[in-house]
Structure 1
Amino acid sequence: MEYEGQICRPPMEKSSFMLATAVGCAYNQCKFCNLFKHLNYRLLPLEQIEAELRHVRAVGGNPKQVFLGDGNAFGMETSRLLCILEKIYHYFPNCQMVNMDATVTDIRNKTDKELYQLKKAGVGHLYLGIESGIDDVLIFMRKDHNIEQAYREIQRMKDAELLYDAHIMTGIAGMGRGIENAEKLAEFFNHTQPERIINFSLFLSRSVALYQDISAGRFIPANEVENLEEARRLLELIGEKPVLYDGFHDKLEFRVWGELPKDRQKMLKKLDSAIETYSRKEPMIAYTH
């Protein structure tokens, strides 16, 4: 299947078979995101999805894990999701779980019964774009939720035994607020206890709405040392429940990953080294084209 747009999936899904089920993101309003701005959101025909499954099986494919694309596959109507799940498990009998991105609103729009149905039908991990632990930052960035809503909907999905993973972005609170954001996120995660945390440190595209705020002085970006310090404070404060963390600072070509709390000291040491190195250089801000 030809994939329209940019392929975007969590690093933990790199060995999953990625099955396109839609084009773009149904929400597509976050100020910082440029992944889907050029796309008109639409669902792919079920016939096209099934043809891809049939083709992959015909060439010997039988993946143990499937990741549904595009931006927020969990937002589809439950009846459609259940139909896709049934087809996946029919064509791939060895499949153990089907994972996908979701928004807090996607969960809110499903009843408790639907969440249980989807879990029973084979949904495993849901990756939620939490991004920040501060309400005014979420409002400014046009996220679809506030912290109270995130607490409530994550508890509902966990009651249904769906697996909760979190996307965050160091730097999203702007200059001077990284430590505050880290401490609020740590508090949030210590209560909600995700299985995985993925940090795609904020990159600043000139093509998105946030750049207009930067030009007008309404948002002052943090530099990359601040972002590293924010990540360090977060890892320092996350509690004792095991959680996988994978943090990307693409401007620096720097990555820190491991399992907390087991690898905490090793990860902090790596961040300390990077902070020391880049503190001696000219401040860098993660602009991209």
Structure 2
Amino acid sequence: MRYEGKVYRPWPEFKSILIQTTLGCSINTCTFCSMFDDKRFKVRDIADVMHDIEQARIMHPYVESIFLIDGNVMAARTDYLLQVLTKLKTTFPEAQQISLYSGLNDFRRKTVAQLKELKDAGLDMAYSGLESGDRLVLENIQKRMTPEHVIEGMAMAKEAGIDVLLSFIFGLGGRERSMEHIKATTDILNITQPEQIAPMALAIQPGTVLEQEVKRGEFIMPTQLQVLKEEQYLLENLNFDTYYFGDHGNNMVPQKGALPQMQTAFLNRINQTIERLPSAKDNVIQTFSW
């Protein structure tokens, strides 16, 4: 199996084998992200992907889950993805889940019929970056996505039966737009109702546009208290069934579980941290590079 450049996978996929299907990210403009700054977007040659799948079979006698990388694999043509999925299902009949990265706009660029084809061929779940539900924040981070795009893309995925894990970032509105960011994000989550959500606290990545904005004073980092207040607001106002992956290493209070079953317990932990943790009043958020 061959990997080119830096390789990333979502932390819930830590047990999955990784099949590099595309290189880089077709957007690659987000100001907070440096994940794929070492390569240009490209769909890998299908023969190379097939070879890697066969090699993975030799290396792994039993595989429960498979994750397709890089940045937004769903941007590849539907017929290409169908070949990859068919090969995976025949090569790993024991696999219980096949997932990939997808931009929410990638759903919109396909038809629901095409998405259903992918689902029927074995695609179970997509990981998508919401980042924020706030229109201004999305513009500031150069996401090339609007709240309307989010709603449309999520509706198409749901109609096709593809589960979605939406990730978003506490603190991405900075010190000045913290509440606008979390209120809009909570609202759009309640509208779209993803099957899983994964919040993480903002971390400034070296070499990003956002890092330069911080250095120039154009983006003021939120305080730890603001980040906690954002999670507090989120947990107070989410109103649908989902699974909460709030255990990213940068989160001040790592916690995961089903909502609404665990919602009160999670909220209580946040409230207790706000009340008891001295660093919650610190002026600077403490996070680390991904």
**Matched pairs, number:** 288
- Seen in structure 2, the aligned counterparts of structure 1 residues 281 and 218 have a Cα distance that, compared at 3 Å, is closer
Aligned to 1:267: 266
Tell me, what secondary structure is at the counterpart of 1:205? coil
- Tell me the equivalent position of 1:141: 141
In 2: Cα distance, 1:251 partner to 1:190 partner: 24
Whichever residue aligns with residue 284 of structure 2, its letter is M
Alignment match, 1:51: 51
The CA distance in 2 between the partners of 1:236 and 1:112, in whole Å, is 33
Whole-Å separation in 1 of the counterparts to 2:265 and 2:253 = 15
In structure 2, distance between residues paired with 1:227 and 1:4: 35
Task: Tell whether the 8 Å contact from 2:253 to 2:269 is kept in structure 1 after alignment.
Answer: no
**2:27 is paired with a residue of what secondary structure?**
coil
1:155-195 deviations in whole A, cap 9, x for unaligned? 11211111122010001111043233222222211111111
Q: 1:251 to 1:283 in 2, by over 3 A?
A: farther
Please, what is the CA RMSD of the aligned residues?
2.1
The 3-state SS of whatever aligns with 1:204 is coil
Q: For 2:232 and 2:101, how far apart are their aligned partners in 1?
A: 26
What is the rounded CA distance, in whole Å, between the counterparts of 1:170 and 1:154 in structure 2?
A: 21
- 3-state secondary structure, aligned to 2:198: strand
Structure 1 pair 252–114 and aligned structure 2 pair: CA distance change class (3 A): closer
Secondary structure at 1:87 match in 2: helix
User: Which is worse superposed, 34-43 or 274-283?
Assistant: 274-283
Residue of structure 2 in register with 1:28 after alignment: 28
- Equivalent residue for 1:283? 283
- What TM-score, normalized to structure 1? 0.91
1:279 positional shift: 4.1
- Matches of 1:66 and 1:163, distance apart in 2: 15
2 CA distance for matches of 1:21 and 1:278?
Answer: 46
8 A contact 1:73–1:102 mirrored in 2: yes
1:76 to partner: Cα distance: 0.8
Gaps of 5+ in 2: none
Closer, same or farther: CA 266–209 of 1 in aligned 2, 3 Å: same
Matches within 5 A, 1:84-163: 84-163=84-163
Cα distance change, pair 280–234 in 1 and its aligned pair in 2 (3 A): closer
Query: Any stretches of 5+ residues in structure 1 without a counterpart?
Result: none
**Cα distance in 2 between the residues matched to 1:183 and 1:280:** 21
Q: Which residue of 1 aligns with 2:254?
A: 255
SS in structure 1 of the partner of residue 188 of structure 2: helix
- Residue of structure 1 in register with 2:39 after alignment: 39
Q: TM-score, normalised by structure 2?
A: 0.91
Change (3 A) 1:224 1:8: farther
Shift in Å at residue 125 of structure 1? 0.9
Do the aligned partners of residues 251 and 117 (structure 1) sit closer, same or farther apart at CA in structure 2, a change above 3 Å counting? closer
Q: Report the alpha carbon displacement of residue 36 of structure 1 after superposing the two structures with TM.
A: 1.0
What SS class does the counterpart of residue 127 from structure 1 fall into?
strand
Distance in 2 separating the partners of 1:95 and 1:136: 41
Cα pair distance change 1:83/1:176, threshold 3 Å: same
Q: Aligned with 1:167: secondary structure? A: strand
| 1:61-111 CA-partner distances (Å, limit 9, x unpaired) | 342321101111111111111111111011111223321111122111112
Change in 2 beyond 3 A, CA 1:248/1:122: same
SS of the residue 1:123 aligns to: coil
Local SS of the residue matching 1:203: coil
> After TM superposition, which residue ranges in structure 1, 4 or more long, deviate above 6 angstroms?
none
- Alpha-carbon distance in 2 for matches of 1:226, 1:249: 18
Contact preservation (8 Å) 2:165, 2:196: yes
The Cα offsets for residues 48-72 of structure 1, whole Å up to 9 and x where unpaired, read as 2222221222245342321101111
Cα distance change on mapping 1:216 and 1:284 into 2, 3 Å: closer
For 1:249 and 1:88, the matched residues in 2 are separated by 29
CA–CA separation in structure 2 for the residues paired with 1:11 and 1:59? 22
- Tell me by how many angstroms 1:117 deviates: 1.1
Confirm or deny: 8 A CA contact 2:228 2:252 kept in the other structure. Answer: no
Identity of aligned residues (%): 28
Partners of 1:184 and 1:281 lie apart in 2 by 24
Cα distance in structure 2, aligned partners of 1:233 and 1:7: 33
Map Cα deviations across residues 187-223 of structure 1 (whole Å, 9 max, x no partner). Answer: 2111111111111211112410112222333221112
CA distance 1:107–1:60, shift in 2 (3 Å): closer
Mapped contact 2:224–2:286 kept (Cα < 8 A): yes
1:3 equivalent to 2:9? Answer no
